[in-house]
Structure 1
């Protein structure tokens, strides 16, 4: 099973990279597939790559669903 999660872009970096916030964890990812991504946009992240833009409301709904999962449960 593959999982892609919403993340908010907090900074653009060199070489088509961006720093994103994944529920408090910051990670550098590739935005080569979504070069139009800007700071404060939500992107869908899969294996270290942004694979699409996401509406902020949809991102919040998805993150809220993830937050409801019990710790240690399979996603």
Structure 2
């Protein structure tokens, strides 16, 4: 299973690279696999350092909301496991 994370393009660089913001973390990503142009402010799907496609802002925000819910649930489970082992 592949997981692509919605990210916002914050800067375009030389050599078909972009800087994207992914859940508050900035990283460089390759645009080599993307078949269309992107601009600063566009939302994209990022997978292992490659931008796979553009997405609309509403879809990106909904996906990020769901990721946050999953991360919160995982943290709660971890906290319960730690507490149970005390």
User: Could you tell me the TM-score, scaled by structure 1's length?
Assistant: 0.89
5+ unaligned residues in a row in structure 2: which ranges?
Answer: 78-86
- Deviation per CA, 1:4-41, whole angstroms, max 9, x where unpaired? 11100000011000000001100000012225011000
Cα separation, 2, equivalents of 1:30 and 1:71? 30
Q: Which has the larger radius of gyration?
A: 2
Deviating 4+ runs (over 6 angstroms): none
Cα separation, 1, equivalents of 2:11 and 2:32? 15
User: Could you tell me the TM-score, scaled by structure 2's length?
Assistant: 0.78
Choose between structure 1 and 2: higher helix proportion. Answer: 2
Q: How many residues align?
A: 73
- Deviation per CA, 1:25-64, whole angstroms, max 9, x where unpaired? 0000001222501100001111100010001100000000
Choose between structure 1 and 2: higher strand proportion. Answer: 1
Q: CA RMSD in A?
A: 1.4
